[in-house]
Amino acid sequence: MFEEINNINIEVQNFQSKSLEEIDQFRISYLGKKGKITLLFNNFKLIPVEQKKEFGARLNILKSSALEKINLLKSSLKDHSKSKKTDTDYTIPGQPTNFGSRHPITLIRDRIINVFSHIGFSISEGPEVEDDWHNFTALNFPEEHPARDMQDTFFITDDIALRTHTSSVQVRVMENSKPPIRTISPGRVYRNEAISARAHCFFHQVEGLYIDKNVSFGDMKQTLLYFTKSLFGPDTKIRLRPSYFPFTEPSAEVDVSCTICSQKGCNVCKYSGWLEIMGCGMVDPNVLENCNIDSNIYSGYAFGMGVERIAQLIYQVNDLRLYSENDLRFIKQFRSEI
Ligand code: PHE
């Protein structure tokens, strides 16, 4: 009888199944009305009195370990079905990734910088809050020049203002280094203008400066032609019209052949075939002297352009305000340019 208990115990321990039906079958054949363990209980009366105690105890252990086994197998089945439900479903479409985009002004600024850095220009930056000397006086602005007027300049004190151009950075470069100097200064500038489609109180510039011995007007023209061809395409032409800036003499405005109609005539170039894109000129000897550069030995040229203006021509965006409104519907259109 005791051997019978041992044998059944081994069977119980060895039983394995992953099907609920099989486990149920197992329960019935061991613990059911006619189950092997139940029948052993029926044999209890046949056991000699002195063995009854031990037999009963071992039978109870067998019964509870069989129950334990059944519960264990059933709960592992439940766990299994639970983990199936939380399994990753690889057929669900992925979350869309939101790509950022660069601002069109950044894109155009970088293209301009790229052209000039290929021909040896360094990049210099300076403060947006600038003193009168670097923004005006060193650049040969006469005391009563209208550009110093409250209408154009945001003054902070009598002597401090928001820079109106990045020529101020070039003064700083000339003061702090010796020729040859070849540098461009990109940055934000401020002018006190009413905001409209064609004007804003701040915009971005890239200005350039080249100072060395024997620098000529021809050098400047060739450099600017190289620049415009690189930016607008190899068929681009330029023309220089006489102009005036306090810090350059002679001075000129640079026009490029209309990038939109190829000089056939359109609204953008107002049927003239030409678009104005920048100012330029030979650095006035007074400016060189103000910055401790000997104007008898050195000469140089300077130029300056508005980044928004170039961006308008390349992207054909006519309203300047769009560049600073941060409307994602506008900005996102430039993502493919990255
Ligand atoms: N500083 C001028 C401006 O802001 C541009 C310029 C730079 C013109 C250098 C000539 C030479 O309009």
Q: Is 257 in the pocket of ligand 1 (CB under 6 A)?
A: no
Query: Structure pTM?
Result: 0.71
- Which pLDDT value is given to residue 283? 97
Ligand 1 atom closest to Cα of residue 205: 4
* Substitution candidate for ligand 1 out of 247, 276, 310 with most atoms within 8 A of CB: 247
Q: Is 206 in the pocket of ligand 1 (CB under 6 A)?
A: no
- Which pLDDT value is given to residue 336? 52
Ligand 1 atom closest to Cα of residue 189: 4
What confidence tens digit (pLDDT) does each residue in 95-107 have? Answer: 888 778 889 999 9
- For residues 283 and 215, the answer to whether their CB atoms sit within 8 Å is no
Closest to 262 in 3D by CA, of 240, 241, 235: 235
How many whole angstroms separate alpha carbon 192 and alpha carbon 196?
12
Ligand 1 centroid – CA 252 distance (Å): 10
More confident residue, 119 or 150: 119
- For residues 210 and 300, the answer to whether their CB atoms sit within 8 Å is yes
More confident residue, 127 or 49: 127
- Average confidence score pLDDT of the chain: 89
More confident residue, 299 or 7: 299
For residue 90, what are the contacts with CB-CB under 8 A and spacing of at least 6?
none
* Paired strand residues for 317: none
Domain extent listing, the chain? 2-79, 104-337
Q: Is 210 in the pocket of ligand 1 (CB under 6 A)?
A: no
Hey, whose CA ends up nearest to atom 7 of ligand 1?
Answer: 304
* Substitution candidate for ligand 1 out of 207, 217, 305 with most atoms within 8 A of CB: 207
Closest to 278 in 3D by CA, of 199, 224, 231: 224
CATH of domain 104-337: 3.30.930.10
Q: Is 299 in the pocket of ligand 1 (CB under 6 A)?
A: no
| Cα 13 to chain centroid, rounded | 64
Q: How far apart, in Å, are the Cα atoms of 172 and each of 190, 193, 206, 222, 306?
A: 18, 26, 15, 26, 20
- Which string of DSSP letters, residue by residue, matches 59-100? HHHHHHHHHHHHHHHHHHHHHHHHHHHHS--TTSPPPPP---
Q: Is 85 exposed, middle or buried (0-12, 13-18, 19+ CB in 10 A)?
A: exposed
The single-letter code of the amino acid at 297 is I
More confident residue, 200 or 101: 200
How many whole angstroms separate alpha carbon 153 and alpha carbon 99?
38
What confidence tens digit (pLDDT) does each residue in 15-68 have? Answer: 888 888 888 898 888 888 888 888 888 887 888 888 888 888 888 888 888 888
* Paired strand residues for 256: 238, 275
Query: Phi and psi dihedrals of 59, rounded to 5?
Result: -65, -40
